[in-house]
Amino acid sequence: MAGFDGIDARGCEGLLRAFVDASREAFAESLTGVYLHGSLAMGCFHPAVSDVDLLVVVDRAPSDADKRRFMERVAALNEDAPAKGIEMSVVLREVCRPFVYPTPFELHFSSMHLDRWREDPEGYVRDMRGTDRDLAAHFTILRRRGRALVGSEPAEVFGEVPRADYLDSLWYDAEGAPEDILENPVYVILNLCRVLAFARDGEVLSKREGGEWGIEHLSERWRGLVSGALDAYGDGRSFQPDADAATAFADAMLTQIQALR
């Protein structure tokens, strides 16, 4: 059922409702739906470390004026969002079903792009479009675990993502792990676990579930590292593992994932 009934919004319900209103106002009758995915949809959202992940699906390409009006609302809402802010993309329904990869998008925003938006709004809405391999992962989660805040159910809008495309999307996000793990160890450790869980067992997991899977399925050598990252994720605190151990873990996990691609 579409809407907010039964959703555990973790203090974000007002933000989500305002985002839906902004989508309706900007895209009017072109709006197919607004969809929630990521940690908030999968029940492991933490306001200190989690994005609010949203997808807007439209029937026709929005004008730059429509996109600017929408971005003005999104940027304002982002001010009141949890620490990591809103991450959202606007996509055409025609690329959702049948699924197109790499997936075109009409507009994208996350907090990392906020300065660019503020400096040049016209240039932002003109140029912030292209293709994004990450959307394969978002669509997969939406079909299995996502939520329609307004519009048709995810399985009616988003086509099945082929295993090869989903794995390529996950690999694109994970392949820099040996370098990234020292800067963002909690995310990288748990993300590598969930990628291997899919590559090995076909499981589509959240980061928390990925860590739990890792503790159960990985060798004893890595369980302390994964447990530390999982505890830090649950508490929303920082975690700094031994650098050599972390890098060795990333290398070992990537080797296993690559062998299963």
Determine whether 74 is exposed, middle or buried from the number of CB atoms within 10 Å of its CB (0-12, 13-18, 19+).
buried
Strands (DSSP E) contained in 136-176 are 147-151
Determine whether 201 is exposed, middle or buried from the number of CB atoms within 10 Å of its CB (0-12, 13-18, 19+).
exposed
Per the listing, tokens 């151990």 go with: 245
- pLDDT at residue 1 in the model: 42
Across all residues in the chain, what is the average pLDDT?
95
pLDDT digits (tens, 9 = 90+) for 214-224: 999 999 999 99
Q: How many CB atoms lie within 10 A of CB 212?
A: 19
Lookup: tokens for 231: 């505890």
pLDDT digits (tens, 9 = 90+) for 132-191: 999 999 999 999 999 999 999 999 999 999 999 999 999 999 999 999 999 999 999 999
Closest CA to 250 of 209, 203, 193, 206: 193
Lookup: tokens for 48: 């200190």
17, amino acid identity: R
Contact 190, 210 (CB under 8 A): yes
For the chain, the first-to-last Cα distance in angstroms comes to 35
- pLDDT at residue 47 in the model: 85
pLDDT band at 4 (very low <50, low <70, confident <90, very high): confident
Residue 56, φ and ψ in degrees, nearest 5: -110, 130
Strands 103-105 and 86-92: unpaired
Asked whether the bond before 102 is cis by omega within 30 degrees of 0, the reply is yes
pLDDT above 70 covers a percentage of the chain that reads: 97
- pLDDT at residue 3 in the model: 73
Strands (DSSP E) contained in the chain are 31-37, 52-58, 86-92, 103-105, 107-109, 130-132, 147-151
- pLDDT at residue 2 in the model: 60
pLDDT digits (tens, 9 = 90+) for 56-109: 999 999 999 999 999 999 999 999 999 999 999 999 999 999 999 999 999 999
Is the pLDDT reported for residue 49 higher than 50?
A: yes
d(CA 85, CA 81): 5
pLDDT band at 46 (very low <50, low <70, confident <90, very high): confident
Task: Identify any residues that bridge with 53 across adjacent strands, giving them in sequence order.
Answer: 37, 87
Per the listing, tokens 């792009």 go with: 113
- Least confident range of 15-24, 87-96, 229-238: 229-238
Task: Identify any residues that bridge with 105 across adjacent strands, giving them in sequence order.
Answer: 130
What are the chain's domains?
A: 13-157 (3.30.460.10), 163-260 (no CATH)
